[in-house]
Structure 1
Amino acid sequence: MPEIPTEDLSNLLARIALRDRAAFRALYDATAPKLFAICLRLLRDRREAEDALQEVFVKIWHRADRFASGVSRPSAWLNAVARNHAIDRLRQIRSPHTDLDIAHGFADPSSGPEALAINSDDGRRIDDCMGRLAPERAEAIRLAYVEGESYLDLSERYQVPLNTLRTWLRRGLLQLRDCLGPAS
């Protein structure tokens, strides 16, 4: 099948952007074999490639106005639409979505020994670092970030302006970060 000139393809895409059905038919006739070959090469299944080709042309119909004639060749744009769609289909085929509720039933809710050891060690390190902070600031951090108390409530509890409380929390978190640093 002879290659259609770039200018003709650009004109067809411009007319398709204006919803010209005759231009769409002409583009389909001129490019379907090549785009089908791209889909077939990637999907390796004739039926899947046929379905993908139809979806590719639906995308072309809806996205023809996105083709920038001065930026790329129309054949490259069409090939990219087909290739990307076929790759997306491959991803759907290879990794079917699983129902998370079903998967949740298979998960072991208890932590393994390694996870328990890591968590207890991390907990001790956090407690140690919290102990190095001024008591009221450590308590403010715990209330804000563990208990979920609002900054406004905390500023009233400690009888300090809201911005002062924010400064306490920020400085306390920075001290915790420095203290927790990489484990030795």
Structure 2
Amino acid sequence: MQGNDIATLINRVAMGDRSAFAMLYTVTSPKLFAVCLKILRDRTEAEEALQEVYIKVWQRSKTFASAAGNPLTWLAAIARHHSIDTMRARRPVADDIDDQYDLADDRTPTPEQNMAIADEGRRIDRCMETLDQAHARAVRRAYVEGLSYNELAEELKVPLNTVRTWLRRSLLKLRECLEQ
């Protein structure tokens, strides 16, 4: 289903159309469930979060502005924010007041780590340039933007097995390039 179709469904949901809501759920729930599961890392919790996400979609559908952007991005943002809120809510309350004011974050990369990350990004970009343009785009759409193989096959208008072959060969070529 295209972005315009999803936007139409959201607009119909804003008018209280329950059948449009059911269709929206059917079409978008796999993608939103994946967002929730990636953040929460617990299937049961992700399923509960997904239900709450769709309650928010029902309530906030009137605020959706179709001209502002991709409707799937809007939906994914709701799922992501709700999942992060859920994850924060399950953190234990600090017993010690000093823990509340501990601003040091060991996960913050050092300047050296930032340089290494940037260098690795440049290496990946150089290796991506060695791929055929269509194959590089398929790799980005699948592994950066999260499109499924089926979605890619529909978008590129090629058979599903062709997409799988392109991606497998492209990843092998990228690995080979990065090992040099």
Instruction: Give the TM-score taking structure 1 as reference length.
Output: 0.50
Deviation at 1:37, TM superposition (A): 0.5
Segments of 4+ moved more than 4 angstroms: none
Q: What is the total number of aligned residue pairs between the two structures?
A: 97
Task: Give the structure 1 partner of residue 4 of structure 2.
Answer: 7
Report how far residue 95 of structure 1 moved.
3.8
Give 2:46's match in structure 1, choosing from 45, 49, 53. Answer: 49
1:82 matched to 2:82? The reply is no
Q: Percent identity?
A: 48
Aligned to 2:14: 17
Structure 2: which 5+ residue stretches go unaligned?
98-180
How far apart are residue 41 of structure 1 and its match? 0.5
Q: Deviations over 1:66-112 (max 9, x none)?
A: 1111111101000000000000001101144x8xxxx7xx99xxxxx
> Which structure's CA Rg is the greater one?
1
Distance 2:28 2:70 in 1: 14
1:40 to 37, 40, 59: 37
CA separation in 1, counterparts of 2:68 and 2:92? 34
* Structural RMSD (CA): 1.6
Distance 1:95 1:67 in 2: 34
Alpha-carbon displacement from aligned partner over 1:93-150 (angstroms, at most 9, x marks no partner): 1144x8xxxx7xx99xxxxxxxxxxxxxxxxxxxxxxxxxxxxxxxxxxxxxxxxxxx
Give structure 1 stretches of 5+ with no counterpart.
108-184
1:73 to 70, 73, 84: 70
TM-score (norm. length: structure 2): 0.51
Give the Cα–Cα distance (whole angstroms) in 1 for the partners of residues 8 and 23 of structure 2: 11
Alignment of 1:1-184 (within 5 A): 4-96=1-93
